[in-house]
Structure 1
Amino acid sequence: MKQAKLGAKGKLKETAVGFVLGAVGGCILGATEDPLDKIVSVMTTSSSLKPVVEEARTVGALGLGTLMGATALTTAMTSVIAGVILAAVITSVFAATGRCTGSHKHSVGLWASAGFAGAFGTTLSGVMLGSAIEWIVKKYSMVGLLWALSLFTILKPPMRFLFRILWKQGEVCCTLGSDARSLERENLEISDWQQRQRVTLQIEKRILSLEKGSSTSGMEDRTRWVTEQKEREQIERKRLKNEEAEMKQKTLHDWINTVMMKHVDFLAFSGVPMTIITMVTSGFGLFGYGNHQSVLIVLLALVSLMGYFLLQSSDFNFWMLLGCMGMFATFVIAMLTLHAGQVVVTTAMKLRVAGHNQSRETISAHMNYQSSLEAVKTAFFGAKLCQLGLGATVGGTLVRHSTGKVRVIAGAASVAGGLLVGMDVLSPVLGEGGAAGALLGVVGAAGVSVGATAAAAGRWSSWQGTLGTTVGLIIGALGMGKWHTVNIGLQLPVAYVFAMTKPF
């Protein structure tokens, strides 16, 4: 009876703790909705949308959709990877300097520093990329953006090779921590040898004294032996502690290397499929075939062909999965952009039947405007889902790596909340592009918290804990998100799927 009561109390506690953790992750996700809506409203005003509308007739609806989609998704992916790389560098420095011991204080400092560095790196790179895109569009139009995207995609594989070399050099330079461990191990071995020598000498002296017939105080011998035993135990404890720290350091270092190499490969290759379809569809537009049906046929063929070869790869990698997802997302954005223009044509035909004729120029201008509006909105929403999903992948991985679900959920939510507060102050300075990129970085940090929450939901010992975490996540996201059911309803499944993904 007593055990049943204790079991019920434990399940109730898991439910309550799970609900609180879920609410924390959900609330920070919902808190990003209003700032994102505001920046989208600013980006879709007539003055901000003018450069996009002017180029819509040049590259066509499909070209515009693929260009906006590929640019937004590439920006999101790049900023997240920048944050992951910076966090990995900070963690590697901790590991190399030997500060990744089992101490709770050092452990909290390690993950807090890595988490802050990751969120800061993601947000800062988002600001830089967003500002760069805004400058390119205003100065060189959408065609300049196409060339910039293509050049960036071409340069990423060589940058990957260079980064690998720099990372290896950094590992060589950071061997000071290992040297310190080796020196400590040598000192322990010397102390152990000296202690053994002292014991040997004492035994020899005792034997000689017995042979000579002299005797010593038993109390003195016992005191001496107790002292030597304590010293021996102390040396053994230090040795075990040193070996445990070395093993933990090596495990963490190997894990960091795996994370780094996988994410660098992801950065280098995942954007290639998106850029290829963008270059092809935009090229048709530049040669005057932007609105021709052949563009749609070529787009379908390209997406199907590249998707088939990537999925059929015998060595299927994380970057291939994300590359396929990004390519299909770009395809969807292009279809929605095309559909927005077709809706204008359909409406004009209905008005013509009703006796309200419109000129061809008016219809064309309205088509370009609606296509541009849809391209910007859907591309930004796609980038938001990409940031959220990649952040959730990081959060889920950290929880499965036994980093501590409370630490990850609360820490990521705190950092994201702090960045949101800072955005209110800095948004006038950053401009539209910089503010949009920064907010996407905040979504990535919030995604870490949401992903950790989703991963933690399945790690409770009872289904009540899982249910409480899930309910808290949904209620927190909807409540703080002002009950944007459709947006939140799309984001939560994406975050859950990515949180369950094992990238390595």
Structure 2
Amino acid sequence: MAKTKLAARSPLTEAAVGFALGAVGGCIMGATEEPVDQTLLMMTAAETLKPLMEEVRTVGALGLGTLIGATALTTAMTSVVAGVILAAMVASVSVATRSCGASQRHSRGVWASAGLAGAFGSTLSGATLGVAVEWIVKNYGMVGLLWALSIFTILKPPVHFLLKLLWKQGEACRTLGSEALAREREQIEVTEFQQKQRVAVQIEQRILMLEQGGGTGGIDHKTTWATERRKREEIERKKMESEEAELDQRTVQDWINTMVVKHVDFLAFSGIPMTVVAIVTSSFGVLGYGGHQSVLIVLLVLVSVIAYLLLKSSDFKFWMLVGCMGMLATFVIAMLTLHAGQLVVTSAMKMEAAGQPQSRENIRTRMNHQSSLEALNAAFFVAKMCQLGLGAAVGGPLVRHAAGDVKVIAGAALVAGGLLAGVEGLAPALGEGGKAGALLGVVGAAGVSVGGASAVAGRWSSWPGTLGTIAGLVFGALVMGKWHIVNIGLQLPVAYVFAMTNPF
């Protein structure tokens, strides 16, 4: 589908419409701030942190940071891909079964059902993975999480092959849709042929009447020709609609196929770099070198080598970019986790210098607490940013490829709002991990709306429209986000960058 510019309006109108669309996307993004913060507060409570504090001794601060970071990012990425694939399946089936007579109304239904399925799939996947991670940590600790993450990463390439195979098998369903359009086209051609024959017979009859010296038929003849002309125009209209529907179906289906292939590749390979980093760092921690300076050097070298190899690839793909970003984010989380523990040591040294000695056990407990707290806070924030960015990477291309700016922005916002209310209502049943994962899915749905608004900002024909859209985004996010200026100030640029990226 070709990129389009929005219809030219007056600058004032563009600014007003842009502000309204931006405010919708900003409001739903801001609305997720408070529930996410409350969930994070629950996850960082003293009782919840106890299992993590004990595991710092097992895998070390660096190992804990990389494990939690890689797990959080894997959960975010997997839930987004699950939602996109489910949405693509619904859209593909709907487009394949569309007839030429149901263009506009059916088109709205296609995007609405696909968006609802995608948001629901992302939220459900996030909740499931969140519950699974919480259960593994409580029962098997960080070593169990390391094994689970490793096995999940190993299984993703076979799942990648299976998903591609199943998608190709699904082409049979799409062929049925093409056959339906072909039958309609044949029926139109038969009707057109019959109409031509009927007109030819009428012309022959009139010629015979003239040769025999009869009348021309007068009013009856004019009525007959007017009727035949209307039938001919109706046949031409149906033929044009059928051709447009077939072309639109082929274009949309090709775009859906490309999107699915890219996201399946993304699912299979994007988590490998950060998982490798987590495995290496955690292994050093298990061997008793979790806080040693040499591990930091090994970690830095490993991250640099993997990033260099991926970025220098001759066949650079979207999953490589996101994989490098996830790996670097995991590295930053590990550094923050280690730094939090070192701050406790520095504080204890200052207190001892001031004549307030601290026991070694007390210092170690505080170190473990601060490291666990920082690991959870950093990992959850990065996962939220990842989810928002990946959602924007879906919403931006949808708007740019003429899926409809209002449909994408307002539809995604409504779905995200409904899911947010549902998650809040089901919070007791989901548990802390399930609620956290589900909220990440909701953030992804909100990211679709924000990404759509960001794409709209770049499609106006005048600067007032662009500035109005940006102002609406910022205003809506700050008002609904209770003026969390730092968080929102970081999230909006990330959403914009991903929305302007074309991974397809």
Deviations 1:317-362 (A, max 9, x none): 1101100110111011011001001101111111121222222222
CA contact (8 A) 1:94 1:110 kept: yes
SS in structure 1 opposite 2:170? helix
- Change over 3 Å in CA distance of 1:33–1:99 after alignment to 2: farther
- Change over 3 Å in CA distance of 1:103–1:188 after alignment to 2: closer
Equivalent-residue separation in structure 2 for 1:38 and 1:250 (angstroms): 46
Equivalent-residue separation in structure 2 for 1:138 and 1:99 (angstroms): 53
The aligned amino acid for 2:308 is: Y
Aligned pairs for 1:153-164 within 5 A: 153-164=153-164
CA contact (8 A) 2:100 2:241 kept: no
1:63 aligns with 2:63: yes
Deviations 1:399-443 (A, max 9, x none): 101112122111111111111212221101110000001111111
Equivalent-residue separation in structure 2 for 1:15 and 1:424 (angstroms): 35
The aligned amino acid for 1:386 is: C
Deviations 1:149-202 (A, max 9, x none): 010111111101111111111121342222211111111111122222222333
Equivalent-residue separation in structure 2 for 1:452 and 1:76 (angstroms): 20
Residue 309 of structure 2 corresponds to: 309
TM-superposed CA distance for 1:252, in Å, is 0.8
Equivalent-residue separation in structure 1 for 2:101 and 2:49 (angstroms): 53
Equivalent-residue separation in structure 1 for 2:17 and 2:228 (angstroms): 49
Residue 217 of structure 1 corresponds to: 217
The aligned amino acid for 2:50 is: K
SS in structure 1 opposite 2:314? coil
Residue 107 of structure 1 corresponds to: 107
- Change over 3 Å in CA distance of 1:15–1:100 after alignment to 2: farther
CA contact (8 A) 2:209 2:215 kept: yes
Equivalent-residue separation in structure 2 for 1:402 and 1:255 (angstroms): 12
CA contact (8 A) 1:100 1:110 kept: no
SS in structure 2 opposite 1:287? helix
Which moves more between the two structures, 474-483 or 314-323? Answer: 474-483
Residue 97 of structure 2 corresponds to: 97
Residue 73 of structure 1 corresponds to: 73
The aligned amino acid for 2:60 is: G
Residue 327 of structure 2 corresponds to: 327
Equivalent-residue separation in structure 1 for 2:12 and 2:327 (angstroms): 45
Equivalent-residue separation in structure 2 for 1:132 and 1:477 (angstroms): 32
SS in structure 1 opposite 2:288? coil
SS in structure 2 opposite 1:175? helix
The aligned amino acid for 1:46 is: A
The aligned amino acid for 1:67 is: L
Aligned pairs for 1:342-491 within 5 A: 342-491=342-491
Residue 248 of structure 1 corresponds to: 248
Residue 273 of structure 1 corresponds to: 273
The aligned amino acid for 1:190 is: V
The aligned amino acid for 1:314 is: S
TM-superposed CA distance for 1:214, in Å, is 4.9
CA contact (8 A) 1:405 1:456 kept: yes
The aligned amino acid for 2:276 is: I
Residue 494 of structure 1 corresponds to: 494
Structure 2: which 5+ residue stretches go unaligned?
Answer: 1-7
Equivalent-residue separation in structure 1 for 2:284 and 2:95 (angstroms): 52
Residue 144 of structure 2 corresponds to: 144
Residue 229 of structure 1 corresponds to: 229
TM-superposed CA distance for 1:10, in Å, is 2.2
Which moves more between the two structures, 299-308 or 204-213? Answer: 204-213
TM-superposed CA distance for 1:387, in Å, is 0.5
Deviations 1:348-397 (A, max 9, x none): 11112122222222222221111111001100001000000001111111
Which moves more between the two structures, 269-278 or 183-192? Answer: 183-192
TM-superposed CA distance for 1:100, in Å, is 7.8
Equivalent-residue separation in structure 1 for 2:487 and 2:25 (angstroms): 16
1:126 aligns with 2:126: yes
- Change over 3 Å in CA distance of 1:47–1:492 after alignment to 2: same
Which moves more between the two structures, 263-272 or 26-35? Answer: 26-35
Aligned residues: 497
TM-superposed CA distance for 1:208, in Å, is 4.2
Equivalent-residue separation in structure 2 for 1:102 and 1:94 (angstroms): 11
Equivalent-residue separation in structure 2 for 1:202 and 1:405 (angstroms): 51
TM-score by length of 1: 0.95
SS in structure 2 opposite 1:502? coil
CA contact (8 A) 1:415 1:445 kept: yes
- Change over 3 Å in CA distance of 1:375–1:100 after alignment to 2: farther
Residue 4 of structure 1 corresponds to: none
Equivalent-residue separation in structure 1 for 2:393 and 2:451 (angstroms): 6
- Change over 3 Å in CA distance of 1:368–1:479 after alignment to 2: same
TM-superposed CA distance for 1:59, in Å, is 0.7
TM-superposed CA distance for 1:250, in Å, is 0.8
Q: CA RMSD in A?
A: 1.7
Deviations 1:132-159 (A, max 9, x none): 0001111111111110001011111110
Which moves more between the two structures, 394-403 or 350-359? Answer: 350-359
Residue 15 of structure 2 corresponds to: 15
Which moves more between the two structures, 156-165 or 404-413? Answer: 404-413
Equivalent-residue separation in structure 1 for 2:278 and 2:78 (angstroms): 18
Equivalent-residue separation in structure 2 for 1:475 and 1:168 (angstroms): 45
Equivalent-residue separation in structure 1 for 2:232 and 2:22 (angstroms): 49
Equivalent-residue separation in structure 2 for 1:15 and 1:326 (angstroms): 36
Equivalent-residue separation in structure 1 for 2:115 and 2:9 (angstroms): 34
CA contact (8 A) 1:19 1:470 kept: yes
TM-superposed CA distance for 1:65, in Å, is 0.5
CA contact (8 A) 2:99 2:181 kept: no
CA contact (8 A) 1:127 1:433 kept: yes
Residue 173 of structure 1 corresponds to: 173
TM-superposed CA distance for 1:91, in Å, is 0.5
TM-superposed CA distance for 1:465, in Å, is 1.2
Equivalent-residue separation in structure 1 for 2:57 and 2:289 (angstroms): 10
The aligned amino acid for 1:382 is: V
CA contact (8 A) 2:388 2:446 kept: yes
The aligned amino acid for 1:75 is: T
Equivalent-residue separation in structure 2 for 1:439 and 1:249 (angstroms): 34
Deviations 1:106-145 (A, max 9, x none): 2222211111111111111011000000011111111111
SS in structure 1 opposite 2:111? helix
SS in structure 2 opposite 1:468? helix
Equivalent-residue separation in structure 2 for 1:244 and 1:410 (angstroms): 27
CA contact (8 A) 2:137 2:144 kept: yes
Structure 1: which 5+ residue stretches go unaligned?
Answer: 1-7
Residue 4 of structure 2 corresponds to: none
TM-superposed CA distance for 1:494, in Å, is 0.7
CA contact (8 A) 1:100 1:107 kept: no
The aligned amino acid for 1:239 is: K
SS in structure 2 opposite 1:362? helix
TM-superposed CA distance for 1:15, in Å, is 1.4
SS in structure 1 opposite 2:289? coil
